[in-house]
Chains A and B, each alone.
Chain A
């Protein structure tokens, strides 16, 4: 199984500042024939289902604000919130869909400082 490791477990950021979340996979999730990373990012707020933010590691889902961006390739990925808003308080998960079983990272809790 591909193990997804996120860091940090939690972070507190001031409103308007940048938040950076890291995700590392135990093996590459780059599908070389397509040159695509089989990785997604999700936002989870209490009492709500997860929300897809990004797929292919860096493609924003429709309606997702452009302050959310993704980068990285192979085994190392980053989710960046460029200017944190109050509504961004949530737990963020990375997920690989390169191999079965699909696996999620442990989550990173983002709070306001």
Chain B
């Protein structure tokens, strides 16, 4: 069974840092791009960051560029999101998501997301 399990969320003060993790299982992790997507309570979905299958292509939403860093450890089948200089507006449920298609040989770095974790909650507040 394909599964993604996020961890690392919690309550943190503005300006501090937090690192989210996503453990993947049930598929060949290093074949796929991976994403972080967040949802502020009561609001819509926002793509936060993506990393392609081999880690060469990385992208961020404008709202987190320069503060967040996405990375992957294929040996551990894990995806990470290092979040620095956190702001109250970063408060959200953060989802880890798997890309639809295998990345090797694909014309673009990423596509949509076909498997999602249950999410981990980040609250930024003093």
Answer yes or no: A68 CB below 8 A from chain B CBs: no
How many angstroms between the C-alpha atoms of A57 and B119 in the bound complex? 26
Answer yes or no: B11 CB below 8 A from chain A CBs: no
Pair A97/B108 contact, Cβ less than 8 Å = yes
Chain A contacts with B in 9-60, Cβ cutoff 8 A: 31, 33-34, 38, 40, 42, 44, 49-52, 55
Which residue of B35, B45, B50, B95 is within 8 Å of A107 (Cβ)?
Answer: B45
| B interface residues, how many (CB within 8 angstroms) | 26
| A interface residues, how many (CB within 8 angstroms) | 26
Residues of B within 8 A of A (CB): 35, 37, 44-47, 50, 59-62, 95, 97, 100, 107-114, 116-119
User: Would you list 18 pairs from A and B whose C-beta atoms are within 8 A, ordered by A residue?
Assistant: A40-B100, A40-B113, A49-B95, A49-B117, A49-B118, A50-B45, A50-B97, A50-B116, A51-B116, A61-B114, A93-B44, A93-B45, A101-B60, A101-B62, A102-B59, A104-B47, A105-B44, A106-B44
